[in-house]
Amino acid sequence: MSETPPDRIPSTPTTPSPATPSPTTLTPTTPTPTTPTPTTPTPATPTLTTPNPTTPTVTTPTVTTPTPATPTVTTLTPATPNPTRPDPTPPDPTTLDLFAGFFIVGICGFGGVLPWARRMIVDQRKWLTAAEFTDMLGLCQFLPGGNIMNLTIALGSRFHGLRGAIACLLGLMTAPVAIVIMLGAIYDQYAAYPPVRRAFVALSAAAAAYLLASAWKIAAPLRGRPMAIGVAARSFVVIAVLRLPLLAAMPVLAIGSTLLQWRFPR
C-alpha cells in the first residue's frame, strides 16, 4: 500500500462556531452637581475730585458823572373857556348815533322821557351843554305838541336837518309804542289784582321823584341870573299855585319874560 503523501491528505472541514453575543452593560451616568460660586461685589473706590479754586475777577465799577440837564422853560398860555360847549368839543353825532341814543331813551323812559333825554344828551353823549339844553327846552315848550317830541325834532334838525329829525323821532317812538301795546294787553287782564295796583302806585312815586330831580338839574344854569330866576318863580306860581289855564298863561309869561330880558339883559 502506498502512502499518501502528506500534501494529499484531505483536510477536515471546520464548522464555524456561532459567535456568542456579548451582553452590553449600560452604566447610568450620575449627574455631577454644579456648585454655584458666589460672586463678591467689588466696592467702587470713590474718586475725590479736588476743585480747582477759581480766582475771582474783581470788576472795578466805572463812575459816570451825570451831566446836569438844562431846564427848559415852557410858557403856558391859559386857554380861553368856551361858555357854549365843553372843552374839548365832542364830534357831532351821526344819524345812527341819534337814532340809537333816542332808542335807548325810549326804552328806559318809564314815567317820563324828559329826565332820561337830558341825561343822555348832556351827561352821557355831551351833544349839548346844560345851558343849551335849557334854552332849547324853553323854546320847545312854547311850540304846540309834547315837549319831548319838539325837543327831539329840534335836536335832530340841528345836526342833520330833516334826516336827523326823522332818525330821532323814530328812535324815540319805536320801542315805546311796541312796549305800550304789549303792556296794555297784559294790564287789561290783571288790572284788578291788588299787587298790580300797588306796583303802579310805586312806579308813579318813583317817576315823580325822578322828574323833580331832573327839574332841579334843568334849573341849574339859571344860577347867577336873578332875572331868569324871577321869571321862573312867577311861572311856577301862575301855573302850579294859581292853576291858571296853560294856554292863557304861557303867552303872557313868554311876552313878559322876553321884554324883561330885553330891558334888563343882566
Report domain extents, the chain. 95-196
Per-residue pLDDT at 4: 47
| Residue 124 main-chain phi, psi, to 5 deg | -90, -60
For residues 239-251, average pLDDT: 83
Place of cell 491528505: 9
How far lies 265's CA from each of 103, 129, 225, 226, 232, in Å? 39, 21, 10, 11, 16
Q: 61-65, 95-99, 130-134: which range is least confident on average?
A: 61-65
pLDDT above 70: percentage of residues in the chain: 65
Per-residue pLDDT at 111: 63
Q: How far apart are alpha carbons 46 and 251 in whole angstroms?
A: 115
Higher pLDDT, 18 or 254: 254
| Distance, CA of 32 to chain centre | 91
Kindly give the residue spans of alpha helices, DSSP state H, lying in 119-238: 130-141, 147-190, 194-219, 226-236
CB atoms < 10 A from the CB of 173, how many? Answer: 15
Long-range contacts of the stretch 174-183 (C-beta < 8 A, 24+): 174/103, 174/106, 175/103, 175/106, 175/107, 176/106, 176/107, 176/109, 176/113, 179/107
Residue 234 has pLDDT above 60, yes or no: yes
Per-residue pLDDT at 96: 95
Task: Report the predicted TM-score, pTM, of the whole model to 2 decimal places.
Answer: 0.51
pLDDT above 90: percentage of residues in the chain: 23
Per-residue pLDDT at 244: 85
Q: How far apart are alpha carbons 77 and 172 in whole angstroms?
A: 44
Higher pLDDT, 70 or 228: 228
Per-residue pLDDT at 104: 94
Residues 216/217/219/221 CA torsion (nearest 10 deg): 150
pLDDT confidence bin for 1, thresholds 50/70/90: very low
Higher pLDDT, 74 or 137: 137
Residue 191 grid cell = 288790572
pLDDT digits 0-9 by tens, 32-59: 555 555 555 555 555 555 445 555 555 5
- Rg of the chain in Å (alpha carbons): 59
Residues 71/74/75/77 CA torsion (nearest 10 deg): -160
pLDDT digits 0-9 by tens, 68-127: 566 565 555 545 545 444 455 678 899 999 999 999 999 988 667 888 899 999 999 999
Dihedral sign from CA coordinates of 94, 99, 104, 105 = positive
